[in-house]
Amino acid sequence: MAIKVATDATFEQEVLHNDKPVVVDFWAAWCGPCKLVAPEMEKIAAKYEGAIDVVKVDVDANPGLSRAFNIMSIPTIAFFAPGKQPMGVVGFRPMEQLETQFNLGSFPKVAEAAQTEAAVEADTTAASDAA
């Protein structure tokens, strides 16, 4: 899954009105620690593909969002779950810490759902073959 890019103009649609939870990486090109966060965002995007969206926001290009969410330091990683207050952490965190901080494990992963579905289908096929 590709990481999406949100702007002042698209943030509301991409994040606030998303029916899925969204992890947002507030970053800037000149920020060294932001470069460390990028691979962690890729890991989250891959692991939770289809269940959680990952969005990047360049704070220099989108000052309205920086003001709206009071982004004073970067990288800031924020988690927006539908119907809940956003949560955020400042600074580099490995994927595992972000998963714990935002309780990402409570959201179903598409790969696991597909495996479960395949297992149920296999059981159903086996049961009908036996009958």
| Catalytic positions | 31, 34
The sheet that has 4-5: what strands, in order across it? 4-5, 53-58, 22-27, 76-80, 87-90
Neighbours of 125 (CB within 10 A): 10
Give phi and psi for 90, each to the nearest 5.
-110, 135
Q: Identify which of 9, 40, 10 has the alpha carbon closest to the alpha carbon of residue 25.
A: 40
Written as six digits, the tokens of 73 are 């330091």
Name the residue type at position 101.
Q
Q: How far is 31 from 51, CA to CA, in rounded Å?
A: 29
